[in-house]
Structure 1
Amino acid sequence: MRQRRIVAVACAALLVAGFAGACSKNTGEHTKGPAIRQDAGSISTDPAESQGPAKPMPGAVRGGTLYSIQQTDYETLDPQQIYVNASIAVGQLFTRTLTMFRKDPKTGKDLLVGDLATDTGTDVDQDGKTWRYTLKKGLKYEDGTAITASDVAYGVARSFSPQVAEGPHYIQQWLTGRTDYNKTYQGPYDGGAKMPPGVTVSGRSITFHLQQAEPDFPFAASMGTTTPLPPARDTGPRKLSDHPFSSGPYKIESYQREHQLVLVRNKYWDPRTDPVRHDYFDRFVVEMGPSPVEITNRLLADNGNDRYAVQVGAVAPELISKVLGDRSLAKRELAGYLDYVRYLNINTRRITDVDERRAINYAMDKAGFLQAEGGSPVGDVASTIQSPTTIGYQKYDAYPTPGNHGDVAKAKKLLKGAKPKLVLAFPNTAVGQKEATKIQQSLSRAGFQIVLKPADQDNYLTVLGRRDNPYDIYVSAWASDWPSGSTIIPPLFDGTAIAASGNNSRTYLDAKPVNDRIAAISKEPAAKGAGDWMKLDRQIMTDYAPLVPLYYEKNLSLYGSRVHGILQGGAPRYYDAWVTQ
């Protein structure tokens, strides 16, 4: 899941042998030291658990406005392309999918349930290849028209379009058995069929006929790929990004790019059909533009509308010590470990010498980079591709350095006197500029000549997703869509999936031994695959050095004194929140 993807997907994830949740709630205690979340969860096997309405939140009241404050605009609100945390969080207010995660009221743990569907899916032939979902009765869009199984199929169909390339690709690849899933079918635009390959519809039921067994399909069905859309309401990817058609409890009233998004209730949403969401607040207003320092200071002051606000993004590094030093703020903190690992990616299409890539790994001052980001409250220094929250994780360090501050001598030895000139792209924000400066300082010690190239924050990941992007190195982050290497290693390193644009790969590594191992491990039972993904993780770093793992991410953010019910996952769960006057 790319960052700022997926995100995360609600807050939970599955491996057939086990399940690790990513959500945490405020306990009034600051995070101390590294820890791995052990919030075991499950997939619902009882259709009653997929029925609405959602269990009331203790003490919740209806009414008022919930505010969200963030620095940047959304990359897209097109449901099939949503794959970034901030978009996922707001998208869950106006979109519904076949399945979704919710907190189990009995255990407090994450549970996958049917959202649009009556349950989490039927494995028709008990072989993981054919999955059937039946839609609930009474589902309606914002205009009162019925949501149909054909609309779900159409949503899947448009996800095949090259114009809709930024979202998750699991279902498309599983339906076709190809990483280049849209080679022969490119969606419903320009005269294409409205029914995607491998999908059939009968009445309220939709069936997915996969090319091979995919026992994780119910989890992929919780992603935006299965968001329904009537063909008549498809205004095209660009317009739909600004005004998606609501199937959830809220709908868009107005949207001014880079300024403000306003949601209001969808009167046709029926809570009796929804086992997950609430609609406690009347309006949801997103403010865009303030810097992390401004947002943090406003939440610290807790005045006016900011008393009803949630901070999107972390506490500004400059203010972390102030926040942690004020014990009265503990009850207004979202704090805990995330599934993300932050990387310095190396574009292997441009930097082809593996020793040069190894030199970058040795030269990087990871500890200094993390300290510049905010230190321990922000994360722990990383050495692996996968997060410690991933099932099968084993610690190793292919490029150890004293105190994680870099080993300039080893880097220079690998460069053999060369002084490579590298173009470093970074989002043109205060944080991005700080990161770029630290990277430049680290690598310059070994002789690298770093040319800084600022990029527009709103399109940063989109630009990096282009195969021919003109940059050598750049920072991004990734989290699993569920805690298995299957949602980390293949999307980041399967060279057969690299396309002209919309890539999840940031390194563009295309190595046949890696591609072959990915194909082989993907067919293994989950219990065996967990260990093998970790072995491949180490092989990739040792043999190819396509990136520098910087740190395993933690979150620390604030919310106003009149906000209640917010839970932390890959992004805030707004639909559980309410405000008091």
Structure 2
Amino acid sequence: MAREMCKMTAGLTGLVLVLAGCAGGGDGASAEGGPRAGGTLRIVGSSDVGHLDPASVASVGAYGLVRTFARTLFGTLASNDFQETLPVRPDVAVRIPTRENGDVSRNRRIYTVRLREGVQWNTNPPRPVTAHDFVRGFKRLCNPASPSVGKGYFISTLEGMDEFCEGFGSVDGKDAQAMAAYQRDNEISGLRAKDDRTLVFRLKQPASDFLHLLTLPYTAAAPQEYDRYVPDSAEFRQNTISNGPYQISEYEPGMSYVLTHNPAWQQKSDPLRERHVEKIQITLGQDAPETVQQQIEQGAADLAWDQPVPTSAIPRLRNDSRFAIRETPSSTPYLVFNTLSPNNGGALGKREVRQALQYAVDRSALIKIVGGPSVAQPLHTVIPPGNSGYAPANHYPTPGESGDPAKCRELLGRAGHTGLTLKFPYRTNSVHKLIAQSIAENFGNCGVKTELRADSGGSFYAGTISTPANARAGEWDIAAPGWTPDWFGNNGRAIIQPLFDGRGYGQNSTNFGGYNNPEVNALIDAALTAPEPSHAAGYWQQADQKIMQDAAIIPLLNRSHTIFHSSRVHGAKFLPTTAGYDYTRLWLR
């Protein structure tokens, strides 16, 4: 997930990977000169995105795809130097608002954002992107058909967002006209289009990370044509409109995408993207990472869509300039408990049971599965190193990171819940099956049975663990999603709030297990209203400690991303928030 990022804390410097031979990736223009136009970029992978509508995208793959056709006010620049990916930069906005240039009020609660000229929709004829399109985009975050995973960021920050979303919830989510009418007839009091080229935001209280929120893909402008469709419906997915360098020309759900040039896009109006390849072909349905890797090495494909380099290939690729290990300080994967499950007499709703299961997992085995210590380190906190609020801690230590099944059994016995059987859906791409099997074996060693069920990437998030009805019905008990922060640096809320704020639990929520602790919710509020990022970090750290005491999840790995491209790919620049190279910067030999 995106979710799957922000400015950087000092703690990140210790994370920089020093791995001989792994700094490749086709950084620059080669001896042949500068970037060349033309050719088809061929991307091969496993599963379709769970959501294609920019308002509800929720995975790193979707973030990378949406970047090609849906632009936000601000963004980040792809780079193979992690530090260069951190600053917030203008996208559709002309400049960064500051108190010095008059675009941020003295009390830091009012932001004025001015739009640049030349950004156009690929309509016939092309039409300028306006401030009203951004207002529409924000209103769509709360639609009842496919609400945004990020709406909580703005409910807690933007004046009137809570009231607007609450009212939207009573509208029929199957009626596109009714939703469009609600958006047309109701306003978010903290957001207005002053004119076609000026937006004014009014915050509940100062938020030091507000501009980072405006880089998130679900804050993209939305054209008026989107009001015709139920958000993220099959019909919507066949009618996306672009203001970026590419447009989706063909889409076969679960099978393929074809992206071609958006004729209305102009390089001079886009400071973050470029456009070199003529066409981008994404072919889905290939679950075996070994097969994908083979195709790339043999020149039949150029990039993997949703899978890192297979573990077995890493040793022989260490000195290959096409291979790289890129920093993505993240919790990938982690094990989440469905605290709402009625199975086993509601056992997973009890803290003592979840605490006992913490001792089951052999992290050393998981590290081997994903490629060894150069790729991943054991993780014991909610917040990974290099993110705001991180502090080393291990509430449930085991010898050699290999688990302690005897202690797990003992604590389950004390809790009165031996003989558990847990439903365990797992993703089918990459090494997720191996990870699930390893965890299932660990649980078996402490007397807990698991029922493993293959669940394709497209349905794993959107259809299974993000659906509250499934959680309450006990359709699953444990799952192993991943979480890449939406931004890095001053980003405590990019981890704690979306994953553990119980007040925002609902359809498409990324608080997958329905965890809800008023003490944690209060710490979230304290962090969000803290006057300085350093103060906020202290509250995020306290929230982390409380969540781990409650054993809401089992952190597993802080994992970097292994990536490989074909010999003909040049200009490969990495975007940590998408766990991939920026498609718009690539060119082909």
Shorter-chain TM band:
0.7 to 0.9
C-alpha separation between the residues in 1 aligned to 2:268 and 2:296?
35
CA distance in 1, matches of 2:81, 2:49: 35
> 1:349 maps to what in 2?
340
1:184 corresponds in structure 2 to: 167
The answer as to 2:264 corresponding to 1:268 is yes
Matched residue type, 1:465 = S
* AA matched with 1:458: G
Partner of 1:485: 492
Which of 465, 477, 480 is the aligned partner of 1:475?
A: 480
The structure-2 alpha-carbon separation of the partners of 1:442 and 1:573, relative to structure 1 and needing over 3 Å to count, comes to same
Which residue matches 1:316?
Answer: 310
Q: Is the 8 A contact 1:334 1:567 kept in 2?
A: no
Verify: 1:83 aligned to 2:53, yes or no.
no
SS of 1:183's equivalent in the other structure is helix
Q: How far off its partner does 1:453 sit?
A: 2.8
Alpha-carbon distance change, 196 to 335 in structure 1, aligned in 2, over 3 angstroms:
farther
**Residue 136 (structure 1) aligns with:** 116
- The 1:164/1:130 distance shift into structure 2, 3 A limit, reads farther
1:573 and 2:582 correspond: yes
d(CA) in 1 for partners of 2:410, 2:508: 37
CA distance in 2, matches of 1:332, 1:450: 39
Aligned to 1:164: 146
Secondary structure at the aligned position of 2:442 is classed as helix
Determine if the alignment matches structure 1 residue 388 to structure 2 residue 378: no
Change (3 A) 1:573 1:460: same
Cα pair distance change 1:26/1:405, threshold 3 Å:
closer
Q: Which amino acid aligns with 1:338?
A: T
Cα deviation, residue 280, structure 1: 1.0
Contact 2:50 2:58 in 1 (8 A): no
- Say if 1:172 and 1:181, in contact at 8 Å, map to a contact too: no
1:226 aligns with 2:201: no
> Relative to 1, partners in 2 of residues 1:18 and 1:118: Cα closer, same or farther, differing over 3 Å?
farther
State whether structure 2 residue 233 is matched by structure 1 residue 210. no
Aligned residue in 1 for 2:22: 30
Identity %: 23
CA RMSD of aligned residues (A): 2.8
Distance 1:474 1:104 in 2: 32
Contact 1:25 1:334 in 2 (8 A): no
Hey, what's the Cα distance between the residues in 1 that align with 2:10 and 2:529? 18
Cα separation, 2, equivalents of 1:344 and 1:211: 34
Q: Structure 2: which 5+ runs fail to align?
A: 24-31, 172-177, 342-347
1:535 and 2:562 are equivalent in the alignment: no
- Render the CA deviation track for 1:42-65: whole Å, top value 9, x for unaligned: xxxxxxxxxxxxxxx972122212
- Paired residue secondary structure (1:299): helix
Following the alignment from structure 2 to structure 1, what is the Cα–Cα distance between the partners of residues 515 and 352?
15
Secondary structure, in 3 states, of the residue corresponding to 1:202?
Answer: strand
- The residue aligned with 1:155 is 137
After TM superposition, the structure 1 = structure 2 runs for residues 476-555 of structure 1, keeping only pairs within 5 Å, are 476-482=481-487, 483=489, 484-499=491-506, 501-524=507-530, 525-542=532-549, 544-555=550-561
Cα pair 1:311 1:557 within 8 Å, conserved = no
> Aligned partners of 1:497 and 1:381: how far apart in 2?
29
In the TM superposition, what is the alpha-carbon distance from 1:446 to its structure 2 partner?
0.8
- Listed one character per residue, the Cα deviations across residues 214-258 of structure 1 (whole Å, up to 9, x for unaligned) are 232211111123322222343332123343210001111111122
Stretch of structure 1 that moved more, 160-169 or 308-317 = 308-317
* Residue of structure 1 equivalent to 2:442: 442
Task: Please state whether the residue corresponding to 1:369 is helix, strand or coil.
Answer: helix
Q: 1:19 to 1:555 in 2, by over 3 A?
A: same
Kindly state the Cα deviation for residue 114 of structure 1 after the two structures are TM-superposed.
Answer: 1.5
SS of the residue 1:207 aligns to? strand
CA distance in 2, matches of 1:503, 1:164: 10
2-side partners of 1:251 and 1:546: how far apart?
Answer: 41
Structure 1 SS opposite 2:396: coil
Partner of 1:564: 570
Structure 1 equivalent of residue 127 of structure 2? 145
In structure 2, what is the equivalent of residue 465 of structure 1? 466
Contact 2:144-2:168 within 8 A present in 1 as well: no
Deviation at 1:176, TM superposition (A): 4.3
Using the TM superposition, give the Cα deviation of residue 378 of structure 1 relative to its aligned residue in structure 2, in angstroms: 3.6
1:26/1:333 contact within 8 Å kept: no
User: Which moves more between the two structures, 127-136 or 428-437?
Assistant: 428-437
C-alpha displacement at 1:442, in angstroms? 0.2
Change (3 A) 1:150 1:58: farther
| Alignment partners' CA distance in 1, 2:81 and 2:396 | 45
Aligned to 2:426: 426
Which deviates more, 350-359 or 476-485? 476-485
Report deviation, 1:558: 0.9
Compared CA separation, residues 70 and 126, structure 1 to 2 (3 A): farther
Shift of 1:372: 2.6
Distance apart, 1:577 and its partner CA: 1.0
The total of aligned residue pairs comes to: 538
Equivalent residue of 2:259, what SS? strand
Please point out which of 257, 278, 281 is paired with 1:282: 278
Deviation at 1:532, TM superposition (A): 2.8
Aligned to 1:116: 92
Partners of 2:383 and 2:33 in 1: CA distance: 36
Q: Pick from 407, 410, 416: which aligns with 2:407? A: 410
- Give the CA deviation at 1:348: 1.8
Matched, 1:456 2:456: yes
Could you say which residue in structure 1 is the equivalent of 2:40?
65
| CA positional deviation for 1:141 | 0.9
Distance 1:365 1:394 in 2: 22
Pair 77,19 (structure 1): closer, same or farther in 2 beyond 3 Å = farther
Q: Which amino acid aligns with 2:312?
A: E
Distance 1:222 1:523, change over 3 A: same
Deviation for aligned residue 1:6: 2.7
Q: Structure 2 vs 1, CA of residues 223 and 23 (structure 1 numbering), >3 Å: closer, same or farther?
A: farther
> Mind listing any 5+ residue stretches in structure 1 that lack a counterpart?
32-56
Q: Name the amino acid aligned to 2:481.
A: S
What amino acid is the match of 1:79? Answer: P
What residue is the counterpart of 2:345 in the other structure? Answer: none
Q: Is the 8 A contact 2:282 2:305 kept in 1?
A: no
Moved more, 268-277 or 524-533: 524-533
Q: CA deviation at 1:314?
A: 0.5
TM-score after normalising by structure 1: 0.86
Could you tell me whether the CA contact under 8 Å between 1:173 and 1:181 is conserved in 2?
no
Alpha-carbon deviations, 1:383-407, whole Å to 9, x = none? Answer: 1111111134221110000111111
Alignment of 1:290-309 (within 5 A): 290=286, 291-301=288-298, 303=299, 305-306=300-301, 308-309=302-303
Q: Which amino acid aligns with 1:347?
A: N
Q: Tell me, what secondary structure is at the counterpart of 2:397? A: coil
In structure 1, C-alpha distance between the alignment counterparts of 2:323 and 2:198, rounded to whole Å: 43
Contact 1:495 1:508 in 2 (8 A): yes
Query: What is the distance in 1 between the residues matched to 2:563 and 2:204?
Result: 43
1:77·1:243 contact (CA, 8 Å) conserved in 2? no
